[in-house]
Amino acid sequence: MKFYSTNDSTHTADLATAIFRGLPADNGLYMPERLDPLPDSFFRDLPDMSFAEIGFQVSKHLLGDDVPEEDLKELVYDAINFPAPVVQLDDKRSVLELFHGPSLAFKDFGARFMSRLMGHFNKGNDKQLVILVATSGDTGGAVAAGFYKTPGIEVVILYPKGKVSLLQEKQLTTLGHNIHALEVDGTFDDCQAIVKKAFLDQELRSELRLSSANSINISRLIPQSFYYFEAYKQLGADGDPVAFCIPSGNFGNLTAGLLAQRMGLPVHHFIAATNRNDVVPEFLATGKYIPRPSVATISNAMDVGAPSNFARMLNLYGHVNGLDPLSPSTHAAMKELITGYAYGDAATEQAVKEVEERFGYVIDPHGAVGYLALTEWQQANPNTRGVVLETAHPSKFKPDVERILGHEIEVPQRLAEMEDREKVATQVGTDYEPVKEWLKAKYL
């Protein structure tokens, strides 16, 4: 399988190049050259497949012979070794729990798959690989857990100071070994801008082997498509059409759903649920895409004002060369399949309360935004089955959730034990050059 740039479809790379490079030189994002539907036999067999087998079949379909079949199967089965259960709230609404992995967030799927895929291609390479990743909360913890003590790979995580939860920060800053944290005195968008500049810095790249573990890396998106098939399997093909509601920040999770649909999954509709950082819902409503600085909310992992994966979404709907003017037909096609909603913190807090009061279920602030969006969308589309992606365990936002609910919530042991660990992080500003010099001093 070849992968092309969203800025220039003639710029292609093989799988190893795409995952290690992270970003094409033209500042686009890599996309698979083909998104063929899975064979009918896959969907006939789907009800009897394990989650890991689904992941293997989907990745084999996408990647072809880029990874030997036995190696790929071993890789996927090792990475996808925890469940993604669908929990029913009522006859029309369910929650897809994506927090049963090591870091208690959906990004474990992508990080674990990616670390093993990179490890496969990195065998025999004597030059150290340095992974740069920006996080608004959960990506960093998942990447830290996924790559912890991986031979030959160093991880540098950039996160916005004071804008991630305490337990999220502990996951980034307490492991040590090959995991290093840079605390940026700015926003997630500032962190992401530094990472992008590093990848476009030819001088730095000539000296260091750099790669990314953000959802800008195509190997992060591929495994995120697996759980859409898994959710559909659990729901069953019989019944009303299925709509997925995705709490969205950088929009990698929604993009993965779109990939699953292109591979034949019969998704009726996608709902993009955001907080006050509403540039994509605004685009869907008006046709105008206006990135802007992010604002802080209690659903901090969605505090993104310039979502990278929006370029991939546009590409899937006909905007093949991203540097060209945007066609109205692209907006029209996206609006047909995706509806966007945005909610403030007050509504989010009320939704956390409502979900517990009505269903006895403790939902995190991001899932609460998804619950609001799905509920609103189903008012006009009642004959559907809606699934909210619950992207992180509520205990990762313990102070806010307990304040909202007025009582303590359970904290899984693997997260609770991090509270007393010592934070180790390097303080940096929002300028790129000091970060570049830090990387050179550490790794050259």
Whether the pLDDT of residue 103 is over 90: the answer is: no
How far is the C-alpha of 442 from the C-alpha of 444, rounded, in Å?
Answer: 6
Q: What is the CA radius of gyration of the chain?
A: 20
- Over range 344-365, report the average pLDDT: 98
Q: What is the pLDDT of residue 413?
A: 87
How far is the C-alpha of 166 from the C-alpha of 179, rounded, in Å?
Answer: 18
Whether the pLDDT of residue 152 is over 90: the answer is: no
Whether the pLDDT of residue 58 is over 80: the answer is: yes
Q: What is the pLDDT of residue 127?
A: 85
Edge to edge, the sheet with strand 129-134 lists 209-212, 129-134, 153-160, 179-184, 426-428
Q: What is the pLDDT of residue 192?
A: 87
Least confident of 111-120, 176-185, 209-218: 209-218
Whether the pLDDT of residue 37 is over 90: the answer is: yes
The proportion of the chain whose per-residue pLDDT surpasses 90, expressed as a percent, equals 77
Rounded to 5°, the CA angle 360-366-371 comes to 55
Q: Where are the domains of the chain?
A: 82-104+220-410
Whether the pLDDT of residue 138 is over 80: the answer is: no
67 within 8 A of 294, measured Cβ to Cβ: no
pLDDT band at 432 (very low <50, low <70, confident <90, very high): very high
How far is the C-alpha of 302 from the C-alpha of 392, rounded, in Å?
Answer: 12
pLDDT band at 261 (very low <50, low <70, confident <90, very high): very high
The proportion of the chain whose per-residue pLDDT surpasses 70, expressed as a percent, equals 100
* Model confidence pLDDT, tens digit, residues 370-429: 999 999 999 999 999 999 999 999 998 999 999 999 999 998 988 888 878 899 999 999
* Model confidence pLDDT, tens digit, residues 268-308: 999 999 999 999 999 999 999 999 988 999 998 899 999 98
Greatest mean pLDDT among 20-29, 225-234, 297-306 lies in 225-234
Q: What is the pLDDT of residue 89?
A: 98
Q: Which residues contact 49 (CB under 8 A, 6 or more apart)?
A: 57, 233
Q: Is 353 exposed, middle or buried (0-12, 13-18, 19+ CB in 10 A)?
A: middle
Q: What is the pLDDT of residue 168?
A: 85
Q: How many residues does the chain have?
A: 444
Nearest to 141 by CA among 16, 300, 21: 300
| Lookup result for tokens 């674990």 | 112
Q: Which residues contact 132 (CB under 8 A, 6 or more apart)?
A: 156, 158, 195, 198, 199, 210, 211, 212, 213
Q: What is the pLDDT of residue 136?
A: 78
Predicted TM-score of the model (pTM): 0.89
- Over range 138-165, report the average pLDDT: 89
Arithmetic mean of pLDDT over the chain: 93
Q: What is the pLDDT of residue 417?
A: 82
CA distances from 344 to 22, 181, 278, 304, 399 (A): 33, 30, 10, 14, 18
Q: What is the pLDDT of residue 124?
A: 79
* Strand bridging mode 179-184 / 426-428: parallel
Whether the pLDDT of residue 324 is over 90: the answer is: no
**DSSP-derived 3-state class of residue 209:** strand
pLDDT band at 326 (very low <50, low <70, confident <90, very high): confident
Edge to edge, the sheet with strand 30-32 lists 8-13, 3-5, 30-32
* Model confidence pLDDT, tens digit, residues 173-201: 999 999 999 999 999 889 989 998 998 89
Upper half-sphere CA count for residue 387 (Cβ side, 13 Å): 30
In the CATH scheme, what architecture does the domain 82-104+220-410 have? Answer: 3-Layer(aba) Sandwich (3.40)
Strands (E), 222-266: 242-247
How far is the C-alpha of 281 from the C-alpha of 271, rounded, in Å?
Answer: 10
Whether the pLDDT of residue 214 is over 80: the answer is: no
- Over range 211-216, report the average pLDDT: 78
Whether the pLDDT of residue 69 is over 80: the answer is: yes
- Over range 49-72, report the average pLDDT: 96
